[in-house]
């Protein structure tokens, strides 16, 4: 969303220091006769140059009407968008509560969980036990299943009424559909797919960290001038908030004018449950993952066999996915899924940082690698140095022969 209309160099103030030239990542500024000149064909209106200029020589013209719906000084509280499926809370809601609680405690404010559905009252108490100070519920038949239009208009109305300072949602299919719509409606910014969230001690701003430029750098983004500060968070990056049955909170039932749902542009006709032939890696308790050391698509059968006997999901490194040995949905790591199973068995995986960031919070890591110096061993709880083609089939056979194994 471009919020700026134009950037202009004020020639009378420009001293020709070149700071703006260095700050421009798009090579859109050059010096001519000791004055900065902008090439508007290259300029993306990112405004980095204005921030770099120490002489107020760069003027920014903002688009008319781009002001926050919620002003900076009235915004208070941390919100999470609780997700439900068939009126049952989804685990990502508890991960959001874990982080929201930390952020709210640092800011000295409340955590509010927003829950939409048609019969969700019974779930509200659980959100309080997991850390919410208050839960706002909205029940309506139209809200039984997630639909972008009714959900976004309802939450827009709630946000305008309660004015949250921060809104967090899961970077799930629902969160990725809902939150950008909401950010547009509230005229504010959004950082998608965050892997880290902190409060800046000095400014109190939300520091939103996410991989950028294809995962080569981690960018920390702030939303200085608009509220709420909004972020989606990768599933399984944060742990789930535990339950405290002594915790008290307030449940607010909001009635929303059903006229808001009139004339939708899309209608939900049917819900088709996803059919997974294998176990979803983000939900799995055990993952058996293969890397380039497995050698070929054909050889991946030994990984599949071990996974089958353990009732485990199959993970993979990017190298293996790039080779076409297994689909992308199995990729673990920075540009794949983040997983946190009870047991992660890494077979023929070297343990490069881009893979480790996606699996190193697994409870127990077992690594099988023929190189005793492989970096995967630095994060492994159990290190098996040897040839995976001997070890993996032997393990599968052993487990098959002891059907009552309790790994
Ligand atoms: C921007 C960016 C994003 C990336 N994102 C991801 C990502 O999301 N996920 C990811 O996984 N990678 C990612 N990568 C790639 C990452 O840097 C590594 O290249 C990749 O993880 C290596 O995969 P690997 O361990 O399968 O292969 P290798 O590094 O080639 O390791 C193979 C290992 O197998 C062992 N081995 C070989 N034969 C045997 C045997 N018979 N028995 C036992 N051990 C054996 C070897 O000793 C070696 O340690 C990314 C890279 C970049 C630049």
Q: Is 96 in the pocket of ligand 1 (CB under 6 A)?
A: no
- Residue-level pLDDT at 404: 65
Contact 83, 170 (CB under 8 A): yes
User: Which of 335, 373, 391 is the pocket-test mutation for ligand 1 (most atoms within 8 Å of CB)?
Assistant: 335
Best residue among 323, 354, 386 to mutate for probing ligand 1, ranked by most atoms within 8 Å of CB? 354
pLDDT tens, residue by residue, 342-374: 999 999 999 999 999 899 989 999 999 999 999
CA of 331 to the centre of ligand 1 (A): 11
Alpha-carbon distance of 70 to 346, in angstroms, equals: 48
Within a domain: 86: yes
Please write the tens of the pLDDT for every residue from 140-166: 999 999 999 999 999 999 999 999 999
Average per-residue pLDDT for the chain: 91
Asked if 124 and 205 sit in the same domain, the reply is yes
pLDDT digits (tens, 9 = 90+) for 186-226: 999 999 989 899 999 999 999 999 987 766 788 999 999 89
274 falls within a domain:
no
Residue nearest to atom 37 of ligand 1 (CA): 293
Q: Are residues 55 and 83 in the same domain?
A: no
Nearest atom, ligand 1, residue 387 CA: 42
- Which pLDDT score, from 0 to 100, does residue 276 have? 54
236 and 353 housed in the same domain: no
Contact 364, 379 (CB under 8 A): no
Distance CA 233, CA 254 (A): 26
Same domain, residue pair 294 and 193 = no
Q: Which residue has the higher pLDDT, 404 or 209?
A: 209
* Residue 262: pLDDT band with limits 50, 70, 90: confident
Query: Ligand 1 center to residue 296 CA distance, Å?
Result: 14
Q: What is the tens place of the pLDDT at every residue in 292-326?
A: 999 999 999 999 999 999 999 999 999 999 999 99
Residue 277 has pLDDT above 60, yes or no: no
In a domain, 277, yes or no: no
Which of 195, 292, 324, 357 has the most ligand 1 atoms within 8 A of CB, as the residue to mutate? 292
Domain presence at residue 276:
no
Ligand 1 pocket check for 370: Cβ under 6 Å: yes
Instruction: Establish whether residue 318 lines the binding site of ligand 1, counting it when its CB lies within 6 angstroms of any ligand atom.
Output: yes
Same domain, yes or no: 115 and 189: yes
Cα-to-centroid distance, 392 and ligand 1 (Å): 18
Q: How far is the CA of 176 from the centre of ligand 1 (A)?
A: 29
Are both 185 and 97 inside the same structural domain? Answer: yes
Give the bridge partners for 289, in sequence order.
Answer: 315, 346
Does residue 82 share a domain with residue 54? no
Distance from the first to the final alpha carbon of the chain: 50
In a domain, 278, yes or no: no
Any domain includes 352: yes
Same-domain pairing of 93 and 231: yes
Q: Is the N-terminal amide bond of 228 cis, ω within 30° of 0? A: yes
Is residue 21 pLDDT above 90, yes or no?
yes
Residue 274: is its pLDDT beyond 60?
Answer: no
Least confident of 78-87, 190-199, 256-265: 256-265
The CATH number for 309's domain is 3.40.50.1220
Q: Which of 213, 236, 257 is the last residue of a domain?
A: 257
Same domain flag for 312 and 361: yes
Q: Are residues 292 and 392 in the same domain?
A: yes
Domain count, the chain: 3
* 368 CA: nearest ligand 1 atom: 43
For the Cβ of 322 lying below 6 angstroms from any atom of ligand 1, the answer is no
* Domain assignment present for 218: yes
Mean pLDDT on 106-135: 97
Task: Kindly tell me if the per-residue pLDDT of 1 is higher than 50.
Answer: no
Tell whether the model's pLDDT for residue 136 goes beyond 90. Answer: yes
Could you write out the three-class secondary structure of the chain? CCCEEEEEECCCCCCCCCHHHHHCCCCCEEEECCEEEECCCCCCCCCHHHHHCCCCCEEEEECCCCCCCECCCCCCCEEEECCEECCEECCHHHHHHHHHHHHHHHHCCCEEEEEEECCCHHHHHHHHHCCCCEEEEEECHHHCCCCHHHHHHHHHHHHHHHCCCEEEEECCHHHHHHHHHHHHHCCCCEEEEECEEEECCCCCCEEEEEEECCCCEEEEECCCCCECEEEEECCCCCCCCCCCCCCCCEEEECCCCHHHHCCCCCCCCCCCCCCCCCCCCCCCCEEEEECHHHCCCCCHHHHHHHHHHHCCEEEECHHHHHHCCCCHHHEECCCCECCCCCEEEEECCCCCHHHHHHHCCCCEEEEEECCCCCCHHHHCCEEEECCHHHHHHHHHHHHHHCCCCCC
pLDDT of residue 90 exceeding 50, the answer is yes
Which two three-digit tokens encode residue 263? 């004339």
Task: Name the domain boundary from 242, 257, 272.
Answer: 257
Ligand 1 centroid from CA 142, angstroms: 47
> Could you list the residue range(s) of the whole structural domain that residue 377 is in?
286-401
Residues 166 and 311 in one domain: no
| Predicted local distance difference test score (pLDDT) of residue 214 | 60
Report percent pLDDT > 90 for the chain: 75
pLDDT of residue 3 exceeding 60: no
Using a 6 Å cutoff on CB, does residue 290 contact ligand 1? no
Q: For the domain that residue 27 is a member of, what is the CATH number?
A: 3.30.70.20
**Quick count: other Cβ atoms within 10 Å of Cβ 379?**
17
Domain finish residue from 218, 237, 257: 257
- Report the separation in Å between the CA atom of 321 and the middle of ligand 1, taken as the mean of its atom positions: 10
- Residue-level pLDDT at 403: 65
HSE of 16, CA atoms in CB hemisphere, 13 A: 5
Give the pLDDT mean for 80-104.
96
- The reply to whether 394 falls in a domain is yes
If pLDDT is split at 50, 70 and 90, which confidence band does 49 have? very high
Tell me the pTM: 0.66
Q: Span 92-97, mean pLDDT?
A: 97
**Would you say residue 13 has pLDDT above 90?**
yes
* Residue 65 pLDDT > 80: no
CB of 317 closer than 6 A to ligand 1?
yes
Ligand 1: distance of its center to the CA of 354 in Å? Answer: 9
134 plus 182 within the same structural domain = yes
Residue 173's pLDDT is what? 85
355 CB within 6 A, ligand 1: yes
Cα of 192 from ligand 1 centre, angstroms: 27
Task: State in Å: Cα 355 to ligand 1 middle.
Answer: 7
Let me know the angle formed at the C-alpha of 82 by 274 and 161, rounded to the nearest 5 degrees: 135
């Amino acid at each position: 969303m471009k919020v700026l209309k134009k950037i202009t160099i004020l020639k009378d103030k420009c001293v020709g220091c070149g700071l703006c030239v260095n700050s421009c990542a798009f090579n859109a500024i050059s010096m001519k006769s000791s004055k900065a000149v902008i090439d508007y064909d290259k300029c993306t209106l990112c405004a980095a140059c204005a921030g770099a200029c120490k002489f107020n020589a760069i003027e920014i013209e903002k688009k008319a009407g781009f002001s926050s719906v919620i002003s900076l000084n009235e915004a208070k509280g941390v919100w999470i968008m609780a997700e439900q499926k068939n009126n049952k809370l989804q685990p990502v809601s508890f991960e959001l509560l874990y982080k929201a609680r930390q952020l709210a405690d640092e800011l000295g404010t409340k955590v509010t969980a927003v829950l939409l559905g048609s019969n969700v009252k019974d779930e509200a108490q659980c959100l309080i036990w997991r850390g919410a100070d208050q839960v706002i519920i909205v029940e309506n038949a139209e809200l039984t299943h997630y639909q972008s239009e009714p959900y976004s208009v309802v939450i827009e109305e709630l946000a305008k009424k309660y004015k949250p300072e921060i809104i967090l949602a899961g970077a799930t299919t629902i969160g990725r559909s809902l939150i950008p719509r909401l950010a547009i409606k509230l005229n504010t910014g959004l950082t998608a797919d965050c892997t880290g969230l902190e409060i800046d001690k000095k400014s109190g701003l939300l520091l939103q960290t996410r991989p950028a430029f294809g995962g080569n750098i981690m960018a920390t983004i702030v939303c200085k001038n608009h509220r709420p500060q909004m972020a989606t968070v990768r599933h399984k990056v944060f742990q789930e908030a535990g339950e405290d049955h002594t915790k008290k909170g307030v449940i607010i039932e909001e009635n929303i004018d059903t006229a808001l749902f009139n004339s939708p542009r899309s209608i939900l006709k049917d819900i088709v449950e996803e059919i997974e032939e294998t176990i979803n890696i983000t939900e799995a308790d055990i993952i058996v993952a293969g890397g380039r050391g497995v050698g070929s698509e054909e050889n991946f059968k030994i990984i599949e066999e071990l996974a089958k006997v353990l009732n485990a999901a199959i993970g993979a490194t990017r190298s293996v996915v790039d080779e076409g040995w297994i689909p992308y949905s199995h990729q673990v790591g920075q540009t794949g899924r983040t997983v946190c199973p009870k047991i992660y068995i890494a077979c023929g995986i070297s343990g490069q940082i881009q893979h480790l960031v996606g699996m190193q919070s697994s409870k127990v890591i077992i690594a099988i690698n023929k190189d005793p110096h492989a970096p995967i061993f630095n994060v492994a709880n159990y290190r098996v140095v040897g040839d995976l083609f001997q070890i993996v089939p032997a393990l599968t056979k052993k487990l098959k022969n002891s059907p009552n194994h309790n790994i």
